[in-house]
RNA sequence: GGAGAGAUGGCCGAGCUGGUCGAAGGCGCUCCCCUGCUAAGGGAGUAUGGGGCUAAUCACUCCAUCGAGGGUUCGAAUCCCUCUCUCUCCGCCA
């Protein structure tokens, strides 16, 4: 959510900024709602004030044993008018909240302008794109060759966009997860957390998935109102919800491994083959809660932490700064990490690192006590994948494949695989 | 699943025979005083969100908030209803 003062103070400037990311702010509607809100709020509060004065006078009169009948007569009808005003005000406030919850974050000034991903800016590349003197297989074939990747079974069990991993590939999948967690907790200073995979609507509203993107989520039946998490970002960032953090505990840095569940509504026909786009995938997520003045430095370091995983795994990648039009709803600035996929001959997103500034914090009421002012102020929140495990597995199988169908294991992973240096097809 | 107890400010904890209660007291924190170090002591202050006014995130003023939502009442932290969560006992269970 944007700062309401900012929105009220200069809606046209906000609209101009939002236009760069392709969002049309209905300034006129906002003005109308604001005007009505103001008038109704003043009226309501006046009536409340009158009621309070009256009630107090009656209390005093009664204590002194005076006759309260005239005072009661005076208060006649006030309740009804107040109730009506309150109801009206509440209705407008609800509309105003709906309006504001649907407004995306303002892009940071350093974000390149552009309407879609073509305007994204490549910042750097790392690693040599591998050359193969044999026909490159994609991860589906490499995985199948290792007798470890089975989409047919998954389709029978659940449907499209699921996978069953077996044997050494399943183990590699687990090894990747373990390695990432160890790296972030061991050398990057993150605290590992284990969190619920089912969350309530309030949590999703806090991080920005609701109310606008409900169709991307899997909701549970029944009246519990729970959803499967689309990313660990939701439960982990919500650790800061409704809290006032002491300055000393900042920055909070959490690393968290969870499955992620996404309906992938609207992506029909996209990435239908392989593990690139699944309804269920594993991810190690990094989440930071920081002082506002530190958030952009934190974005750089967090991105570096995600890059460190790719480097350790020796996977070629590039870093892209998303343009205004490609930015996620809640993000002020985002770096995407894209890994090289030989079979596709292109870089594909494997991590997304974002600074949300106070956009999520405002929805979450996530604050810290600023020693300079002594007052609770909004924190800044960030997160980034470190990394998406399924895509990392796919990238590894493709980049490290050998002519005989084996897969070379990057050194950092070997301790997690009992020292195995190569994954080899059975038989 | 059954029975019971509870949810109050940064924390602990009174109030719950409805009225000067935004809320005693304590802890913590801030400032001041005293004390030739340390410790102790004395005094003052210390919730959050929002509105109006304003150049102002100053001041002033108003409103809301005692788990959440509704109700009764001139008036609700206090009474009633619903929900959520926590704790205890029983049952069940990985």
Q: What is the pLDDT of residues A126-180, one digit of tens each?
A: 999 999 999 999 999 999 999 999 999 999 999 999 999 999 999 999 999 999 9
Q: Over 90: is that where the pLDDT of A299 sits?
A: yes
Q: How confident is the model at residue A370 (pLDDT cuts 50, 70, 90)?
A: confident
Taking residues A271-282, what's their average pLDDT? 95
- Measured distance CA(A199)–CA(A258) in Å, rounded: 13
Q: Over 90: is that where the pLDDT of A410 sits?
A: yes
Q: Over 90: is that where the pLDDT of A229 sits?
A: yes
How many Å apart are A372 CA and B12 C1'?
27
| Greatest Cα pair distance in chain A | 103
Q: Over 80: is that where the pLDDT of A306 sits?
A: yes
- Measured distance CA(A422)–CA(A400) in Å, rounded: 9
Q: Over 80: is that where the pLDDT of A413 sits?
A: yes
Per annotation, catalytic residue among A36, A277, A311, A408: A277
Q: Which nucleotides of B are covered by protein (CB under 7 A)?
A: 10, 19-20, 47-52, 57, 62-64, 74-75
Taking residues A17-28, what's their average pLDDT? 94
Per annotation, catalytic residue among A86, A264, A349, A402: A349
pLDDT tens for residues A70-83?
A: 888 888 788 888 88
pTM for this structure?
0.93
- What is the rounded average pLDDT for all residues in chain A? 93
Ranking A169-183, A184-198, A269-283, A371-385 by mean pLDDT, the lowest is A371-385
> Is A400 within 8 Å of A414 (Cβ atoms)?
no
Q: Residue A108 contacts by C-beta under 8 Å, 6 or more apart in sequence?
A: A296, A332, A333, A355, A357
How many Å apart are A172 CA and B44 C1'?
65
For residue A111, which of A123, A103, A101, A125 has the smallest C-alpha distance? A123
Nucleotide nearest to A367 (CA to C1'): B48
How many Å apart are A65 CA and B86 C1'?
44
| Cβ neighbours around A221 below 10 Å, total | 6
> Is A322 within 8 Å of A346 (Cβ atoms)?
no
Q: Which residues of A129-156 are buried (b: 16+ CB within 10 A; e: fewer)?
A: eeeeeeebbbbbbbbbbbebbbbeebee
First to last CA, chain A: 58
Q: How confident is the model at residue A61 (pLDDT cuts 50, 70, 90)?
A: confident
Query: A312: which 2 tokens?
Result: 């350790």
Nucleotide nearest to A71 (CA to C1'): B74
Q: Give the 3-state secondary structure of residue A311.
A: helix
Q: Give the 3-state secondary structure of residue A198.
A: strand
Task: Let me know if A349 is a catalytic residue.
Answer: yes
Nucleotide nearest to A76 (CA to C1'): B74
How many Å apart are A227 CA and B31 C1'?
50
Q: Over 80: is that where the pLDDT of A222 sits?
A: no
Taking residues A322-336, what's their average pLDDT? 96
For residue A398, which of A380, A423, A376 has the smallest C-alpha distance? A423
The whole-number pLDDT of residue A153 equals 96
The whole-number pLDDT of residue A80 equals 85
Taking residues A345-369, what's their average pLDDT? 93
For residue A102, which of A172, A192, A18 has the smallest C-alpha distance? A18
Taking residues A201-208, what's their average pLDDT? 91
Nucleotide nearest to A374 (CA to C1'): B30
Q: In this complex, which protein residues place their C-beta within 7 A of any atom belonging to strand B?
A: A 4-5, 8, 38, 41-42, 44-46, 48-49, 51-56, 58-60, 62-63, 72, 75, 78-79, 244, 367, 375-376
Looking at A115-208, list the stretches that DSSP marks H as alpha helix, in order from N- to C-terminal side. 139-145, 151-157, 167-186, 201-207
Q: Residue A24 contacts by C-beta under 8 Å, 6 or more apart in sequence?
A: A15, A18
The helices-and-strands tally (H runs, E runs) of chain A is 13, 17
Q: DSSP class of residue A174?
A: H
The whole-number pLDDT of residue A267 equals 84
Q: Give the 3-state secondary structure of residue A101.
A: helix
Q: Over 80: is that where the pLDDT of A96 sits?
A: yes
Task: Let me know if A277 is a catalytic residue.
Answer: yes
How many Å apart are A417 CA and B33 C1'?
69
Write the CA distances from A411 to A130, A131, A283, A306, integer angstroms.
17, 20, 21, 18
Task: Let me know if A391 is a catalytic residue.
Answer: yes
For residue A34, which of A101, A106, A89 has the smallest C-alpha distance? A89
How many Å apart are A38 CA and B56 C1'?
20
């Amino acid at each position: 959510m944007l700062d309401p003062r900012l929105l009220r103070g200069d809606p046209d400037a906000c609209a101009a900024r939002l236009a760069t990311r392709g969002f049309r702010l209905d300034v006129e509607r906002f003005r109308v709602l604001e005007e009505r809100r103001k008038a109704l709020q003043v009226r309501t509060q006046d009536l409340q004030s009158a009621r309070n004065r009256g009630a107090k006078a009656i209390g005093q009169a009664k204590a002194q044993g005076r006759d309260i009948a005239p005072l009661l007569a005076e208060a006649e009808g006030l309740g009804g008018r107040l109730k009506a005003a309150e109801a009206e005000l509440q209705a407008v406030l609800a509309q105003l909240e709906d309006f504001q919850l649907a407004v995306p974050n303002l892009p940071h000034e350093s974000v390149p302008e552009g309407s879609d991903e073509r305007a994204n800016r490549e910042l750097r590349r790392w690693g040599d794109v591998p050359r193969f003197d044999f026909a490159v297989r994609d991860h589906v074939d490499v995985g199948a060759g290792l007798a470890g990747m089975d989409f047919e079974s998954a389709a029978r069990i659940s449907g499209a966009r699921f996978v069953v991993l077996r044997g050494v590939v399943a183990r590699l999948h687990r090894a990747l997860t373990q390695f990432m967690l160890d790296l972030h907790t061991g050398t990057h200073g993150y605290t590992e957390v284990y969190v619920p995979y089912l969350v309530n609507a309030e949590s999703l509203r806090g991080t920005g998935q609701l109310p606008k993107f409900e169709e991307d989520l899997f909701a549970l039946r029944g009246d519990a109102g729970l959803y499967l998490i689309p990313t660990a970002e939701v439960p982990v960032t919500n650790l800061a919800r409704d809290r006032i953090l002491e300055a000393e505990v900042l920055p909070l840095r959490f690393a968290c491994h969870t499955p992620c569940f996404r309906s992938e509504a609207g992506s029909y026909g996209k990435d239908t083959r392989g593990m690139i786009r699944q309804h269920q995938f594993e991810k190690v997520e990094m989440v930071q809660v920081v002082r506002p003045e530190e958030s952009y430095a934190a974005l750089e370091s967090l991105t570096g932490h995600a890059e460190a995983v790719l480097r350790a795994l020796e996977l070629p990648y590039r870093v892209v700064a998303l343009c205004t039009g490609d930015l996620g709803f809640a993000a002020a600035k985002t770096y995407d990490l894209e890994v090289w996929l030989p079979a596709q001959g292109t870089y594909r997103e494997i991590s997304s690192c974002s600074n949300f500034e106070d956009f999520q914090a405002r929805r979450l009421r996530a604050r810290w006590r600023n020693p300079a002012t002594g007052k609770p102020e909004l924190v800044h929140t960030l997160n980034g994948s470190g990394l998406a495990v399924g895509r990392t597995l796919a990238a590894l199988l493709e980049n490290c494949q050998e002519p005989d169908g084996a897969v070379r294991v990057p050194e950092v992973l070997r301790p997690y695989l009992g020292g195995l240096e190569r994954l080899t097809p059975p038989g």
